[in-house]
Amino acid sequence: MYNLHELEEKYRVLEKELLNPETIADKNRYTELTREFNHISKILGDERKLREIEDDIREYSEMQNSADDDMKEEITQELAQLREEKEAVQQRILLALLPHNPLDRKNIIMEIRAGTGGDEAALFAADLFRMYSRYCERSSWKIEILSSNEIGVGGFREIAFSIVGKGVYSKLKFEKGVHRVQRIPVTESGGRIHTSAVTVAVLPEPEGTEIQIANEDLRIDVYRARGHGGQHVNTTDSAVRITHLTTGVVVTCQDEKSQLKNKEKALKVLRARLFEQAETERKNAEAADRKNQVGSGDRSERIRTYNFPQNRVTDHRIGLTLYKLDLVMDGNLSKLIEALTESEAHERLAQIGIEQ
């Protein structure tokens, strides 16, 4: 699957290039080459570990032939452990050599929308926003709210926000789809469990030159922001609605008091949506378009269920159930994301003919 000699040669070339003053002066190139250098270093480190394990296996196998019964049992146990360790290292090497997804390093724009379930769905949309916010805090990522539509009881009909940090898309790309919640709503007086749904979209954020939008392709409307009254009601036409005439994509933003800031945020979301659509067209076999990603919000289109009475969260794509919903809602998403990442890697290995 790979040529060790070529990897070692690439390592030496990168090592030399990283010492070049011209490379050091070019921050972007230096960062990119450092990332590649570290990646190859890990593979070569695992290769050395693999050779050491294979040497130990040969040595113990030879010892086993002349050992007495008591020693043979110990050697058999040691060999079993070494073979298990060998398999794990081989797996790490194979996964590290899978083709890199260029989107994985991108920042994202996440959109959360209440689906079926009325106010309860809007309240759960707010809960998911808090969950992702806590996960971002744990990951040292930065969040900026781009637009939101609140309801009076503290929920969101919809909220869009950007997330900036290292490897954001690689971790959160699995969150796109319909999230189902089962619990007794705070608005329910009879104590009955309700089922509601919320949709999540994960849009990789394009860099400046990746999406070009011509001014003549835009219709920009301004209007007075709507709110719950008092300080939330804007007395000027600061809210912005941008329609991309070519695709029909519409983005609105009214969170800022400044029309200019609302326009900037709306354009940011628009670029992300158009970039996602372009990626979908380029990779038809890999992903559906944004409409399919978000879904209709129907309860049957779920990727994950959050059952509060049982403190249970189930990811239906990989059949994983955790009875730690309270921790998950507090932003402890690592186990879910790690399991989904591993599942994706195994699928990609299977696609290139490597059995697991």
331, 347 contact by CB (below 8 A): no
Kindly state the tokens that stand for 80: 């079993």
What pLDDT does residue 287 have? 44
What pLDDT does residue 270 have? 92
- DSSP-derived 3-state class of residue 5: helix
pLDDT in tens for each of the 356 residues of the chain? Answer: 557 788 899 999 999 999 999 999 998 899 889 988 998 999 999 999 999 999 999 999 988 888 887 788 889 999 999 999 998 898 788 878 877 788 888 999 999 999 998 899 999 999 999 999 999 999 999 999 999 999 877 899 999 999 999 989 999 999 999 999 999 987 676 778 899 999 999 999 987 667 888 889 899 998 877 654 434 455 567 889 999 998 999 999 988 888 899 998 999 899 899 988 888 776 654 444 444 455 555 545 689 999 999 999 999 999 999 999 999 999 999 999 999 998 888 887 776 665 55
> In Å, what is the CA distance from 258 to each residue of 236, 250, 263, 265, 304?
9, 20, 9, 11, 38
What pLDDT does residue 280 have? 76
> In Å, what is the CA distance from 194 to each residue of 124, 125, 297, 328?
12, 15, 15, 20
- In 3D space, the residue among 305, 278, 114, 125 whose CA is nearest the CA of residue 203 turns out to be 278
303, 315 contact by CB (below 8 A): yes
Cβ neighbourhood burial of 12 (10 Å; 0-12, 13-18, 19+): exposed
pTM exceeding the 0.85 threshold for the entire prediction: no
Q: Count the neighbouring beta carbons within 10 Å of the beta carbon of residue 319.
A: 9
DSSP-assigned letters across all residues of 39-53? HHHHHHHHHHHHHHH
What pLDDT does residue 301 have? 66
Q: How far is residue 130's CA from residue 136's CA, in Å, rounded to a whole number?
A: 10
What pLDDT does residue 162 have? 95
What pLDDT does residue 352 have? 65
- In 3D space, the residue among 346, 349, 343, 351 whose CA is nearest the CA of residue 318 turns out to be 343
125, 159 contact by CB (below 8 A): yes
Domain assignments of the chain as residue spans, ordered by start: 4-96, 102-346
102-346 has which CATH code?
3.30.70.1660
- DSSP-derived 3-state class of residue 185: coil
Helix runs in the chain, H state only: 4-17, 21-25, 27-66, 69-96, 118-138, 168-172, 259-282, 290-294, 325-329, 334-351
